[in-house]
Chains A and B, each alone.
Chain A
């Protein structure tokens, strides 16, 4: 299994409060053909970790540590060099597709922009490639001439996926891509992402707060709590045999579709004690 990305000892702090660690000593490895889910509550640092890979952190934040992508140290690259990687070798999709799409350009044009910028495609070759991408994500090719507001939420997310895989990236980062979607649409998008990952042998980093989604899509799972990784393991290990008290507590909050489980909110005071003991 070839390693695509490895993060070592990543720390993220606000520039005006260097002692407050928003992400604390995070290390992880991503391999081709594997989906790694980062699970955590809001404020756990899961999105910051993903953004730092793309060099998209707010200028108010400072990141230190190493992010190695195919032997390149991303933290040392300037913006121009990063831009050659972003969108080409690393693709990204976000939660709300409408805010990421330009409302006054057709979706075909927006998919084409990526291809022209990174691969220099033009004319008939470009058109062919746009159509092939739309087909791959399950959108009729006539839709290339539609504007984002003419599409449903699920279709917009499919367009975002088409853009993110346009240059056949080695790594796809998906930050809560299905959170804003209806359940039936969510199920379709998860299936699509899983198929694309397998077909293109991509590494996928999938950020979510939903253990149900983890159960559907993950190979490996990373659980984050207050900026730290508290537990990593395969999906089976984390879901059926969680070791860390926080992972167990978080799983106990998730309602199940069978209604058998007694919900138990997290007792943070107890957790602090348990952590001190562990």
Chain B
């Protein structure tokens, strides 16, 4: 069966042709857009919008969150299967199509993935979907067998009555769909869970296809006659095309067209290589009159100057200046954080077929609702006439969700410029991705603290940084008093009791597009806070663990993970042994609490991280092994960037274009990792991002114990990146 056949048969299944019983016909054909949206408070739990139960008894969960590694396919299926009393072997998962009514993220109000919200916002909803489907299957069986529903049990996918009657889901699914959806299906008491939180009960649903090459990503889509499009974009942000000559590009065999598009010049070809070759041969004059022309060295000078003046106050308690005036030891630190690219393994791309009156797009859309609207708007057709299907994506780390929806816009513009009837795959090269902006913002923290009589008396943190949310649809949600809260999150609410506290921000404008990057503000605030508190505790002569705990009285969950990690690592103080020292850090992000201890020695090039112990409290641990995997991956992702990565600008031009200049962590640099999951009955929270922030400061703090300075300018290994 070819991939094309497979997509056809899938479409047939979704239309109800191939024995669909509980199905998602409602979600198809854009009909849901015409429906009256449910009241904002109501949560969609209708099984026929989330589940496909086939005659072969497989249960496919339509996942409203994109699967790009963090495990929502498995997570959503776990929640459904638990309440459905399904056998794990019968569970499958696919992406739900774009539909803001049926598949909205309850945390956002529209369909989208981010903020480590998948499990957090779906925990009750998807369990209710499972419970509702179970009740409907039981009702159908009761009617068929003519027995009271209350006498029926369901276990591991088998519906049974004490009379000896039994059947599987597939046999009853069609009649189940005729049953009313229970308004508020009863959920299990957690003590009865068989899958949620049970070690080994669940395996990832996508491991096999991702180990044998059959997983289909956007780059792999191959509808007949698809053209590959590459766009030549300005080397500087804000530059535009003044003029171009396409004759040499059009002479490349396989190149079929060249068009000007708002983001640059698009080359269309039969395949990637002719498209790339054609693009290389374009002659383009750029108009840089409105482009950002500052380099990172200049930005650093400007930011540094600003950081020495007070910014707009975010939070103030007590009086920092008065505390400094009272004397004691004044400790100051400056931390500089570079621009960082997300560099997901699969560079950005998107596919669409436009037939004039209708369009069908497929790509790793992380925010389907705004992407969907953007495509419809550019094509000038009603959103009901555009079908958008999210598919697997090769990583994101934030990159596939843009407040500007620039990928969806560019896709639509490129497709529109090609003309109707031509399927187009828009492909970004690695260099396009690396130099394409949307970086973690460049920022500085200037810290001041006072230690007197072994106690931290004052703490001040002046941040200079660029707003991610300014001018975006998320501004209203994230701005407080004119300031972007994601620029200081974590810096204003430190988990330490300090009587005199101040956090202020200079929110600056730079003509470089920036974006949330795995753990957003915590990527820098986590480092600044945890490196600085460690430095202050050192000055106060206190142990990094005990000293933190003594200040954490009001933050029991922070203290909980810190105690857990100290126990896991058998913490005996920070004294180095045999050239190795241990550093600690604890950071809460997205309501998940993570503490890490890194064991570090110094090599010729820089720090070598031998082992990392990690404790995480994410409330109820739905999939323990996925939580461990996210901690492992988050540590590796965080470590690679803190050690090696930066994007620099030379007169506005991003310099690093590939992994030779933007160094990624490799296997020989990966520490051993041990993870403890703190038992909790709190509501579950996400794990995709929170593993990232603590590793940087943990390494920095270990370096300090080796007699070095905590790195003030990241990355730690200078020269690793250009």
Same complex for A and B? Answer no
Binding site for A on B (CB under 8 A): none
